[in-house]
């Protein structure tokens, strides 16, 4: 099915990003969940919560575990999450006597949230690389054309002469601040989620924090108290995604306006029309504007989901699932398109 253009076999060529999407496949999600369950068993064994034999049996079973996805699908319809059924399947794979130690002390949200963060870690790296690439392309444009003249436009009116470097600086500088912002916030984002049924790790006695720290270390994540109902790091990251697409939307809008006619810009490639073969539509520039407005909209709902009632909310949590993966892919696509668009520029200014 292809309801979202990010998943659409054709439209994703323009609006999607394969590498970012890959992290939101079922396979990637389950792989991350299995990594959580293995690391949890090992961390619990190191802390004497379960035996080392149990942990070894769990790790062995997970190494070859293949989920029955039809049953997982049915479970989602019934339970709202796949985890109870997934755990049941893993326990069956581990068998007696260690099966019951799988997922010990954890809850569905621990697996799903940590599984998300594990993939966001890769996402953050990917977006960081794309962001650097886009900045480099803009610097290259500045080097090639920065000294040329351009009529500065204010309030959509010709104002005074400026240089191409002035306009490019307004495209580039926000992106450099976004790099700073990402490194500032990723420490709060890339942390383990482990709280158990209601956030208190009640089954681990006084070993909860110790297990959590080992779990985090094994997964390559930061350690932090559980945040089952505290979604600020995700909302903040969504804000970062939308800052990036917003800044690139400004770049796209400017390119679209420069390409309206006249000789301010020359672009290679570019979009054909079924009615007017002479046209060359600034397709990537338009897509940057669309993706900016899309993310600006989704961000609103990520903040709505901060109103996350009590210890864990099904409604607010489910809402995030409808938003964050698409925001990530929109941002990756936007960065990719911006870099490609910059590379299409044959000439800027006079």
Q: What are phi and psi of 262, to 5 degrees?
A: 70, -160
Question: Minimum Å distance from CB 200 to its own copies?
Answer: 5
Question: Minimum Å distance from CB 237 to its own copies?
Answer: 10
Q: Which is nearer to its own copies, 76 or 129 (CB)?
A: 76
Nearest-10 crossing angle of helices 283-304, 324-344: 160
Q: Which is nearer to its own copies, 133 or 311 (CB)?
A: 311
SS3 166: helix
- How far apart are alpha carbons 80 and 64 in whole angstroms? 26
Q: Which is nearer to its own copies, 52 or 198 (CB)?
A: 198
Q: What are phi and psi of 153, to 5 degrees?
A: -115, 125
C-alpha of 344 from chain center? 27
Question: Minimum Å distance from CB 294 to its own copies?
Answer: 5
Question: Minimum Å distance from CB 11 to its own copies?
Answer: 6
- The DSSP result for 28-46, as a single string, is HHHHHHHHHHHHHHHHHHH
Question: Going by DSSP bridges, is the β-strand pair 345-348/265-267 parallel, antiparallel, or unpaired?
Answer: antiparallel
Q: Which is nearer to its own copies, 84 or 209 (CB)?
A: 84
Question: Minimum Å distance from CB 314 to its own copies?
Answer: 3
Q: Which is nearer to its own copies, 133 or 321 (CB)?
A: 321
Q: Which is nearer to its own copies, 143 or 318 (CB)?
A: 318
- How far apart are alpha carbons 121 and 313 in whole angstroms? 24
Question: Minimum Å distance from CB 91 to its own copies?
Answer: 11
Q: Which is nearer to its own copies, 132 or 253 (CB)?
A: 253
- How far apart are alpha carbons 32 and 235 in whole angstroms? 21
Question: Minimum Å distance from CB 20 to its own copies?
Answer: 8
Q: Which is nearer to its own copies, 54 or 123 (CB)?
A: 123
- Give buried/exposed letters for 6-31 (b at 16+ CB in 10 A, else e): bbeeeebebbbbebbbebbeeebbbe
User: Where do the H-state alpha helices sit in 65-199?
Assistant: 69-79, 83-94, 108-145, 164-189
Q: Which is nearer to its own copies, 143 or 166 (CB)?
A: 166
Find tokens 């969940």 and name the residue: 33
Q: Output the CA angle 139-142-145, nearest 5 degrees.
A: 150
Question: Minimum Å distance from CB 8 to its own copies?
Answer: 7
Question: Minimum Å distance from CB 320 to its own copies?
Answer: 9
- How far apart are alpha carbons 155 and 83 in whole angstroms? 54
- How far apart are alpha carbons 222 and 347 in whole angstroms? 46
């Amino acid at each position: 099915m292809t309801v979202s253009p990010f998943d659409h076999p054709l439209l994703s060529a323009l609006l999607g990003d394969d590498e970012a999407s890959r992290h939101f496949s079922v396979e990637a999600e389950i792989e991350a969940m299995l990594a959580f369950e293995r690391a949890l068993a090992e961390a619990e064994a190191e802390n004497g919560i379960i035996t080392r034999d149990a942990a070894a049996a769990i790790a062995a079973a997970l190494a070859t575990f293949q989920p029955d996805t039809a049953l997982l699908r049915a479970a989602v319809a019934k339970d709202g999450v796949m985890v109870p059924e997934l755990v049941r399947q893993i326990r069956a794979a581990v068998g007696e006597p260690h099966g019951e130690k799988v997922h010990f002390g954890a809850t569905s949200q621990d697996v799903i949230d940590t599984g998300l963060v594990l993939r966001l870690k890769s996402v953050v790296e990917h977006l960081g690389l794309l962001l650097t690439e886009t900045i480099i392309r803009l610097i290259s444009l500045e080097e090639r054309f920065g000294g040329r003249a351009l009529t500065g436009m204010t309030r959509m009116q010709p104002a005074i002469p400026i240089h191409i470097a002035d306009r490019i600086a307004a495209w580039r500088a926000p992106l450099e601040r976004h790099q700073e912002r990402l490194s500032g916030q990723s420490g709060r984002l890339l942390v383990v989620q482990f709280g158990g049924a209601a956030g208190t790790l009640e089954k681990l006695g006084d070993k909860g924090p110790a297990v959590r720290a080992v779990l985090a270390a094994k997964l390559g994540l930061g350690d932090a108290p559980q945040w089952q109902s505290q979604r600020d790091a995700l909302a903040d990251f969504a804000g970062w995604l939308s800052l990036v697409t917003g800044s690139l939307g400004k770049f796209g809008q400017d390119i679209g306006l420069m390409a309206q006619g006249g000789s301010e810009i020359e672009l290679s490639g570019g979009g054909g029309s079924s009615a007017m073969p002479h046209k060359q539509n600034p397709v990537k520039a338009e897509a940057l504007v669309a993706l900016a407005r899309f993310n600006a909209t989704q961000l609103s709902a990520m903040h709505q989901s901060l109103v996350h009632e009590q210890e864990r909310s099904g409604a607010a949590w489910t809402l995030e699932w409808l938003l964050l993966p698409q925001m990530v892919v929109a941002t990756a696509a936007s960065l990719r398109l911006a870099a490609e668009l910059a590379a299409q520029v044959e000439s800027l200014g006079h």
